[in-house]
Amino acid sequence: MGLYACVPSPVKKYKIAYNVFLNQEADDYEIFVMNTDGSEKKNITNRAGLDWVYYAFGDKLFFVSDRDTTHRVYFLYEMNANGENVRKIYNVRLSDSWVGSRKNGTELLVKPHPTEDSAFHIINLNGRLLKRLDVGLPYFNDPCFSPDGKQIVFRGGLKVSKREEGFIDELYIINDDGTGLRQLTHYPKNDTTAEWYAYKAGPPCWKPDGMITYSSKQAGNYNIFSIEANGEHLRKLTPDSLNEVYHSWLPDGSAMTYEGADLNDENYEIYIQYSSGKILQLTADTLQQLAPVFVEVN
């Protein structure tokens, strides 16, 4: 008999963290977690103000918050799925933007507020600025690293603001050294159904299998689409019965969780969709549930 027994790797378990518009009059957003079957829902922030989870890596939730500052002035924090070990990461004010990571979650990709800087920042978990990345576009937001960390996909535009006539947000890809900028998506020119404020290309996710997923309002309906990094094989992933926008994937790509609203953009609930095509609704109440992410639990 050998000195070492063959011990199987433990099966990773996940919960879903999501944002709840708990009190509209007070502009109060809270972060909740639940099991992937919708059970054991729990508020893990429990404070008046704005807390919004944008990203998870492993057992860490990365969220923006206006705690310790004034209303809707955001800074970046982390905590675990129980709402414990809350820690401020970065002392630079951030924009309302998704967050990416690379190098096993040790480097984060964030978008500073325009009053701070006009470039993406790559930082470490101690809040040290490692690199500025100027993408050279008037509008840029919601960055996400490629699985190997060498490229970034993000929402970009040729005008500064959605309020400018003719603004169209598309997905762009750039190398992490600032070279090779190219446009990935192309919104259908004959589609006029999206309002001025609607996403033509919503915040992207870059899956380990190389596919990039994003939301887009086309033919009057928000759906989640997938596309390869070379711009080929565009495919719609979600049903037309709902408006689906913010989403995330299990690390192995076997399931996606997203918010789904009815076609009047009401009744925002959280869903999980498996690779088999099976869809489960996980929440059902009068509150708005938004932007779910998978988080690992020990």
The token pair at 21 is: 């518009």
In a domain, 192, yes or no: no
Q: What is the mean pLDDT of residues 72-99?
A: 97
Q: What is the mean pLDDT of residues 196-213?
A: 96
Segment 252-272, tens digit of pLDDT: 999 999 999 999 888 999 999
> 112 versus 9: which is more confidently predicted?
112
Q: In the chain, how many domains are there?
A: 1
Q: Rg of the chain over CA atoms, in angstroms? A: 19
For residue 235, give the H/E element and its range.
strand 235-236
Q: What is the pLDDT of residue 9?
A: 53
With cut-offs at 50, 70 and 90, classify the pLDDT of residue 12.
Answer: confident
- Model confidence at 76: pLDDT above 50: yes
Share of the chain above pLDDT 70, in %: 97
In a domain, 29, yes or no: yes
In a domain, 250, yes or no: no
With cut-offs at 50, 70 and 90, classify the pLDDT of residue 5.
Answer: very low
CATH code where residue 60 lies:
2.120.10.30
Contacts of 109 (CB under 8 A, 6+ apart): 99, 100, 101, 102, 120, 121, 122, 143, 144, 145, 152
In a domain, 266, yes or no: no
* Strand partners for 144: 153
Query: Considering only CA atoms, which of 87, 146, 92 is closest in space to residue 120?
Result: 92
Q: What is the pLDDT of residue 1?
A: 41
With cut-offs at 50, 70 and 90, classify the pLDDT of residue 97.
Answer: very high
Share of the chain above pLDDT 90, in %: 94
- Model confidence at 3: pLDDT above 90: no
In a domain, 164, yes or no: no
In a domain, 70, yes or no: yes
Domain encompassing residue 114: 12-133+284-298
Q: CA torsion sign, 22 to 66 to 38 to 55?
A: positive
Q: What is the mean pLDDT of residues 168-193?
A: 97
- Model confidence at 223: pLDDT above 70: yes
In a domain, 113, yes or no: yes
With cut-offs at 50, 70 and 90, classify the pLDDT of residue 8.
Answer: low
Q: What is the pLDDT of residue 4?
A: 42
Q: What is the mean pLDDT of residues 61-76?
A: 96
Q: What is the mean pLDDT of residues 159-173?
A: 95
In a domain, 161, yes or no: no
Please, what is the average pLDDT of the chain? Answer: 95
- Model confidence at 6: pLDDT above 60: no
